[in-house]
Structure 1
């Protein structure tokens, strides 16, 4: 269950194909936080979890993660995510661990 939001914020989570999309809006309707998740092949993947700078330190990132997680279909699915250095601070407060650092990969058009 996702925790309650601070006063003035509204959460929307919709399940589409293939991803679950979450948005938290501020009182004025502007985007405060967002994120995506997809479940496939025994893995539940969180992606692009973002809290806009003006709305940080209010619990919105954790609330977004919980809202997306509540849509997981299989209890057996392993949860994974890829985080930036900034994101790692949030995830560590939610008891996530870093089993392996990642590398950036750029895939370009191949030559014939």
Structure 2
């Protein structure tokens, strides 16, 4: 397993595609990493760093809210080493890339795919022929990378080839063969992507500020 760190331009490319896929503001360079203003109920903004950086600790010392997670392409133990007391750290995924040909979009019998898309983003649903949602995935296509996002297969429909089919359907929107393919995977998802020719570039860790007790 790589010990961590990605090129800043590669991280920015992934964040850009992710923002396009989710309808969020594009990333902004800040504090040695990038800031994405997510403006959600659970998360106001996130800070994402490409490598180990002393500025992570400086930033953490200024954050007083659990709605501003710090994420970094380094192992969780390394991220924890930069943080002041009051933060919890967890391994949350793997930064992965692939320059391989996308999987063949072969749907098993009994399933149909529906697509919603704009100029640089889209969503694909796979459902049973009687309308039950079985899998869903999103994508965002920036100038520097094609990003797969929120790839989910319902537990009741796993081990039927739907994950591979979904990745293939999404991959058809890449358009340029030389555009890098990027995603951040969970532990479970990593196994699927490895089987499709993807490679782990770096671990991906998350730190959350604990809620301060009232008073």
TM-score using structure 2 length: 0.46
The answer to whether residue 142 in structure 2 is matched with residue 9 in structure 1 is no
Does residue 80 of the first structure (1) align with residue 172 of the second (2)?
A: no
Q: Is the 8 A contact 2:105 2:167 kept in 1?
A: no
**Aligned partners of 2:155, 2:110: CA distance in 1, in Å?**
17
What's the secondary structure of 1:103's corresponding residue?
strand
Once the 2 structures are TM-superposed, how far is the Cα of residue 17 of structure 1 from its aligned partner? 4.8
Structure 1 or 2, whichever has the larger Rg, is 2
Cα root mean square deviation, aligned: 1.8
Matching of residues 14-93 of structure 1 within 5 Å:
14-93=116-195
Partner of 1:99: 201
Give the equivalent residue in structure 2 for 1:110: none
5+ residue gaps, structure 2: 1-102, 210-215
Change (3 A) 1:76 1:106: farther
Shift of 1:18: 4.2
Preserved CA contact (<8 Å) 1:2 1:70: no
Deviation readout 1:38-64 (Å, 9 max, x if unpaired): 111210000000000000000101100
For 2:185, what is the secondary structure of its paired residue?
coil
Provide structure 1 residue ranges, at least 5 long, that are not aligned to the other structure: 108-112
